[in-house]
Structure 1
Amino acid sequence: MDDETARLYAELWAHVEPESSRRLLLAALDAFADRGFEAATTRDISRRAGMSPAAVYVHYRSKVEMLGEIMRIGHESVLESARTAMDERDGPSERTAAFVSAFSSWHARFSTLGQVTAHELRALPPERFGEILSLRQATERLVADELRAGAAGGELHVDDLQGTVRAIMSLGVDSARWYTPQRGGDPESIGRLHADLVLRMLR
């Protein structure tokens, strides 16, 4: 993780207190992205955090609890990012483009977090699963509402609303899989490209 990425993650996690809890969550995120939730162990997480295995249980009851917090932070962050970007635009086309740009750039910027939030939902227990699924559905509704409005007003061509939402979300989420700064571009340029591509397809 380069210095700029580390700074952004620190800002995203700033509200987690005490500092040792924050270190454990970031270590768990690293372990889940590296090995997958099932293969990662609390011993591995504590080692990455530079703490003893017993220290994990001072702050979290289990690695499932850590995953739930990571998922909540990630989903709340991307939802807020999309809402903020859309609030600055008028009309279904511009608001759809703003959503795509924010959603894709967030997944490129926070690629490690994006990978975990995209792939580990099923590892959560039912009560946390429902909470996180609700956040994910709220994010999907943001763009679905604009697509519906754009189609009704003749701005956008949407034959299959659910399929179109799924395609847009998949485009953004996939940024977390392949993006690295070494491949060229930056998160913002990826977001702009994806927004342009989506509008071209929908028009």
Structure 2
Amino acid sequence: MSLTASEAVLGAQVRLARTSKGLSLRALARMIDVSPATLSQIENARTGLTVARLSRIADVLGLTVSEVLDIAPTAAPEGLPPPRRLSPPEDWRHYAPIDFDPVLRAALEEFLAIGYHGATVRGIAARCGLSVSGIYHYYTSKQQMLVTILDLTMTDLLARARSAQAEGRDPVERFSLLVENLVLYHTHRRELGAVGASEMRSFDAENRPRIAEQRTQQQRMVDREVEGAVQLGRFRSDHPREAARAVVTMCTALPTWWRPDGPLSPEQVAEQYVGIALDMMRLRR
């Protein structure tokens, strides 16, 4: 039989119980005869937790089931740093790991796993092992977390786009560099791209116009280079503005299918997509 309580909370309680005993995920998995992947799925609420398995976990940890369920999350650590601005490095093609604070990282994972409307502050707190009150000390709402994630995303993307664009000597080169940047961003930062693509409808009336304007800025950058190339006779598309929108859309859709363990690296996809984009514009060679 399966427990009826929130799977996200159950998974978080298992994680808290494990870490309270100083055990690694791999060590506990070995003790209960499951794979580390299965235990990770349990802790992250991606698979169900039966009464029998919960009892087994409690037993090997030297706890009762009630004790596992009653372990309190740790309070928010003092001085939890604000999320760092994802300022691009000198090389816009270089991507370092994202330096989000634990709450924002947990919110991103929760939005990706079950969507913004399915996510709760309690579930986010459970995912990062903090108390709900600790979450509210740094973020006033789930909406603020989403806005912060998208602000960081668009600020980073646009800064990289400007750096890429500045390297081009003419509209065709600048267009190609902008496409390359879009592809690299939506593969190297696929998690951020996925949330940006799927959660625009989730912003409230106050925040939606500002985030939408940031997205429009990226499209305008591409549009301007397309217009310049058309004026020079380099792009011969009958519908250049529509083609420009299609190019940006195919790049922002990459998180729906590209995977890090797939056959193509971000750089290989970028090379392919630049070629496809130029074909769509009917480049005069």
Q: CA-to-partner distance for each residue in 1:66-111, whole Å, 9 max, x for gaps?
A: 1011111111111112111111111111111101110011001111
Greater mean deviation of Cα atoms: 79-88 or 145-154: 79-88
Q: Tell me how far apart the structure 1 counterparts of residues 238 and 129 of structure 2 sit (CA, whole Å).
A: 52
CA contact (8 A) 1:100 1:194 kept: yes
Structure 1 segments of 4+ aligned residues over 3 angstroms from their partners: none
Q: Partner letter of residue 93 of structure 1?
A: V
Displacement after TM superposition at 1:201 (Å): 2.4
Q: Tell me how far apart the structure 2 counterparts of residues 132 and 159 of structure 1 sit (CA, whole Å).
A: 31
Show the 5 A alignment for 1:49-198: 49-198=128-277
CA contact (8 A) 1:147 1:158 kept: no
> Are residues 1:8 and 2:116 paired?
no
Q: Tell me how far apart the structure 2 counterparts of residues 36 and 165 of structure 1 sit (CA, whole Å).
A: 29
Q: Tell me how far apart the structure 2 counterparts of residues 54 and 165 of structure 1 sit (CA, whole Å).
A: 46
Q: Tell me how far apart the structure 2 counterparts of residues 23 and 102 of structure 1 sit (CA, whole Å).
A: 28
* Matched position secondary structure for 1:76: helix
Q: Tell me how far apart the structure 1 counterparts of residues 143 and 240 of structure 2 sit (CA, whole Å).
A: 34
Q: Which residue of 2 aligns with 1:201?
A: 280
Displacement after TM superposition at 1:148 (Å): 0.5
Greater mean deviation of Cα atoms: 76-85 or 92-101: 76-85
User: Unpaired runs of 5+ in structure 1?
Assistant: 1-5, 14-21
CA contact (8 A) 1:150 1:156 kept: yes
Q: Which residue of 1 aligns with 2:14?
A: none
The alignment's C-alpha RMSD in Å is: 1.5
User: Unpaired runs of 5+ in structure 2?
Assistant: 1-94
Q: Partner letter of residue 62 of structure 1?
A: S
Query: % of aligned pairs identical?
Result: 28
TM-score, length of structure 1 as denominator length = 0.88
Q: Which residue of 1 aligns with 2:28?
A: none
TM-score, length of structure 2 as denominator length = 0.63
Higher helix share: 1
Q: Tell me how far apart the structure 1 counterparts of residues 280 and 252 of structure 2 sit (CA, whole Å).
A: 18
Computing the radius of gyration from Cα coordinates, the structure with the larger value is 2
Q: CA-to-partner distance for each residue in 1:45-76, whole Å, 9 max, x for gaps?
A: 11222211221110111101110111111111
Q: Tell me how far apart the structure 1 counterparts of residues 248 and 259 of structure 2 sit (CA, whole Å).
A: 19
